[in-house]
Amino acid sequence: MSSNIQTTQVPALTLNDGNEIPQLGFGVFQVPPADTAGVVAHALRTGYRLIDTAAAYGNESGVGEAVANSGLAREEVYVTTKLWNDDHGRERTRRAFEASLERLGLDDVDLYLIHWPAPGRGRYIETWEALCELKDSGRTRSIGVSNFTVEHLERVIDATGVVPAVNQIELHPEFQQRELREFHRERGIATEAWSPLGKGRVMEHPVIGELAAAHGRTPAQVVLRWHLQLGNIVIPKSVTPSRIEENFRLFDFELGEEEMDRLAKLDTGRRIGPDPLRFG
Ligand code: NDP
């Protein structure tokens, strides 16, 4: 099967620990567990080489099945999973990590993330220490966080001296997170955008429609291209084969400076997902 898998043109970014990550990946939040192996198999055939799952998505087994049956070597596919809020704390983190590997059917992952800081639980620093130990053990190549604010990032960095390689955050044209992205840039943290298409909603914006028409592209392609040009890692989700393919065709056009400026103006500052200060 590997012979008919197209060679991928996705650029790689180098993380602060020296490891590389593909800049475009495939997210599987809300992909039904029973459909996940098939959907991920289509993504891998299309050329995606990063799959983003989480313990909480209930579909790690399907991801593992698709990777195992893809004909690709393990090192050709970048696998991210995440630690759920109930599993914060040193011992629980270790157990949850083992359980994720078991479900994925893998000996290691490429990136392990703390899914939410869940500040009300008061254990994200201890949890970050546990992730540092997992990285030292070699069973996750990189470690990072998700939904962390500047304050949460500063606290884990101050406590351990270890800067997360990635912060995966809600980010799309209507919620651009400029301050947090600037902090990431200063500290060498890669920005990974979740709900990069605003769950499909931002694509209805007339400016995005205009830019899409000007380039002969779809609104989704314009939004994903904007992310890539900002330097974000981007992980769109779709269960629709034609959209999975459409979201991968981003490497043969470019948005101009003026077009990037027009998209910069679409920020409303309103998130669509939960507030990390309250969630978990
Ligand atoms: P997205 O912004 O990726 O949007 C997904 C929605 O857009 C789906 O309804 C999909 O429909 C639709 N869509 C996809 N492509 C197109 C297209 N080309 N044209 C029109 N509609 C399209 O939202 P997600 O919330 O899924 O985010 C992506 C990934 O980010 C997740 O899968 C997950 O991996 C990660 N994530 C992480 C979170 C975190 O807390 N760390 C939180 C949320 C997401 P359909 O599937 O029906 O084709």
Residue 124 annotated to the active site: no
Atom of ligand 1 nearest to the CA of 168: 41
Minimal-distance CA residue to ligand 1 atom 48: 238
**Which residue out of 48, 57, 78, 124 is catalytically annotated?**
57
pLDDT tens for each residue of 30-76? 999 999 999 999 999 999 999 999 999 999 999 999 999 999 999 99
CA distances to 35, 58, 93, 246, 266 from 103, rounded to whole Å, are 16, 9, 15, 30, 40
Average pLDDT value for residue range 143-152? 98
Could you tell me which residues come within 8 angstroms of residue 85 by beta carbon, excluding any fewer than 6 positions away?
A: 115, 116, 118, 121, 280
Homologous superfamily of domain range 12-264 = NADP-dependent oxidoreductase domain (3.20.20.100)
Q: What band does 86 get if pLDDT is binned at 50, 70 and 90?
A: very high
**8 Å CB contact between 142 and 21:** yes
Q: What is the pLDDT of residues 164-204, one digit of tens each?
A: 999 999 999 999 999 999 999 999 999 999 999 999 888 89
Which 8-state DSSP code applies to residue 24? B
According to the model, what pLDDT value does residue 19 have? 98
- Which of 146, 177, 195 is the pocket-test mutation for ligand 1 (most atoms within 8 Å of CB)? 195
Distance from the first to the final alpha carbon of the chain: 42
User: Model's pTM, two decimal places?
Assistant: 0.97
Q: Using the predicted structure, report yes or no on whether residue 7 has a pLDDT greater than 80.
A: no
Say whether pLDDT at 18 is over 90.
yes
Q: Say what the pLDDT of residue 263 is.
A: 98
How many Cα atoms occupy the beta-carbon half-sphere of 179 within 13 Å?
5
Spell out which residues line ligand 1, taking CB within 6 angstroms. 27-29, 52, 115, 146-147, 168, 194-200, 203, 218, 220, 235-240, 243, 246-247, 273
pLDDT of residue 5: 38
Supply 261's token pair: 């400026």
The residue type at 193:
A
- pLDDT tens sequence across 217-240: 999 999 999 999 999 999 999 999
The answer to whether 134 touches 112, Cβ cutoff 8 Å, is yes
Q: What does the pLDDT read at residue 240? A: 98
Q: How far is the centre of ligand 1, averaged over its atoms, from the C-alpha of 25 (Å)?
A: 11
- Find the mean pLDDT for residues 129-144: 98
* Residue of 84, 238, 277, 278 to test ligand 1 pocket, by largest number of atoms within 8 Å of CB: 238
* Average pLDDT of the chain to the nearest whole number: 96
Domain ranges of the chain: 12-264
- Per-residue confidence at 9, pLDDT binned at 50, 70, 90? confident
- The conformation of residue 237, written as its DSSP 8-state character, comes to -
Distance, in Å, from the CA atom of 274 to the CA atom of 223, rounded to the nearest integer, reads 22
Phi, psi at residue 27, to the nearest 5°? -95, 145
Does residue 3 have a pLDDT over 50? no
